Amino acid sequence: MEKTLAIAVINVKAKAYIELLKLKLTLAVVFSGVFGYCLAVDQINWWMIAILIVASICMTGAANIINQIIEKDSDKVMKRTAVRPLPTGRLTVREAATFAFILFGAACYLYVQFFNIRAAALAVLSLLLYGFVYTPLKRKGQVAVFVGALPGAFPPMIGWVAATNHFGWIPGILFAVQFFWQFPHFWSIGWLAFDEYKKAGIQMMPGNGKTTDTAFRIMIYTLFLLPIGWLPFLLGVTGIYSALVATIGGILFLAQTFHLMRTCTDKAALQMMFGSLLYLPVVQIVYLLDKV
């Protein structure tokens, strides 16, 4: 009986630790990092990619845990976050912090040992910006989205630098694509969760809430994706086909913002959110397939 109870407790704890990682978000970050790495190398080394995946999961997981520790009180207020491990008490802050520290240490070791100091420094900077700058700023106003877009755009750059050990125009462009993509993506989420965020004292939306003005601002940032999508081709990294696909994807994405401007409904925002979830991985995969 005691053994069964102990196993049940261990299972609950293990599940809670895994939940802390926010695996859906973490895997999206990992995908972008692997994309940047694969775009940079001439020949894919699957062993190195596996190590990069583990390092990315550890660093992103640590950042997500810091975010949840700081937001544990506001998470209790919102329906979609109230079931997380810290608000429900399935894990203590000390347990979460210890786990974050272990993940952070493992990530730093892997980046330095198998890749380079530059990639490690970028990954650490990403964690610091996300956990200790963006997270507290979410209660201060809309500037949080701009700050949060910085670490959110680092993964493909980190992957490129991990492969090459140098910066340049190309990783900068990969950063720019993901940077501008985040505004329509997160603002569509902010539109859908506007009331919940407001209740928790978090301001994630531009303008004055669910208005045409807000939708117009979303459209402006989406517009940047059209010219930026051509830059990998213009720099000779990818071929013309990927530029055309990126343009078509950008136009379809932009059309969704016009629909949101016209209707200002949650349905249009939801469609735009799903559109954003398709746009980025499709464009990144096409860039890889059309790599010069």
Query: Which pLDDT tens digit goes with each residue over 266-291?
Result: 999 999 999 999 999 999 999 999 99
> In terms of domains, do 131 and 268 share one?
no
Distance CA 256, CA 272 (A): 6
Query: Which carries the bigger pLDDT value, residue 283 or residue 199?
Result: 283
Q: pLDDT at position 8, please?
A: 67
Domain count for the chain, please give it.
Answer: 2
Task: Give residue 261's pLDDT band: very low, low, confident or very high (50, 70, 90).
Answer: very high
Q: What angle do CA 74, 80, 84 make, to 5 degrees?
A: 70
> Could you tell me if 86 and 134 lie in one domain?
yes
Q: Are residues 174 and 261 in the same domain?
A: yes
Compute how many other C-beta atoms are within 10 angstroms of the C-beta atom of residue 49. Answer: 17
Rounded-to-integer distance, Cα 260 and Cα 206, Å = 14
Last residue within a domain, chosen from 167, 190, 215: 167
What count of Cα atoms within 13 Å lies in the side-chain half-sphere of residue 196?
A: 14
User: pLDDT at residue 189 above 80?
Assistant: yes
Residue 190 and residue 88 share a domain = no
Q: Is the distance from CB of 253 to CB of 275 less than 8 angstroms?
A: yes
Among 167, 189, 221, identify where a domain stops: 167
Q: What is the pLDDT of residue 140?
A: 81
Which pLDDT tens digit goes with each residue over 97-115? 999 999 999 999 999 999 9
Read off the pLDDT of residues 46-89 as tens digits, 9 standing for 90 and up. Answer: 999 999 999 999 999 999 999 999 999 888 888 888 899 999 99
For residues 2 and 85, state if they share a domain: yes
Q: Which pLDDT band, with edges at 50, 70 and 90, does 207 fall under?
A: low
CATH number of the structural domain spanning residue 137: 1.10.357.140
Same structural domain, 17 and 143: yes
Phi and psi at residue 45, to the nearest 5°: -105, 105
Q: Say yes or no: 116 and 261 in one domain.
A: no
Of 167, 198, 217, which marks where a domain is finished?
167
SS (H, E, C) 20-46: HCCHHHHHHHHHHHHHHHHHHCCCCCH
Judgement on whether residues 172 and 161 belong to the same structural domain of the protein = no
pLDDT surpasses 90 at 183: yes
Q: Which residues contact 158 (CB under 8 A, 6 or more apart)?
A: 33, 36, 56, 119, 122, 123, 126
- In the chain, what are the helix, strand and coil shares in percent, each to the nearest 5? 80, 0, 20
Query: What band does 6 get if pLDDT is binned at 50, 70 and 90?
Result: low
Q: Is the pLDDT of residue 5 over 70?
A: no
Domain holding 223, by residue range, is 168-291
Same domain for 28 and 17: yes
Same domain for 110 and 65: yes
pLDDT at 3: 66
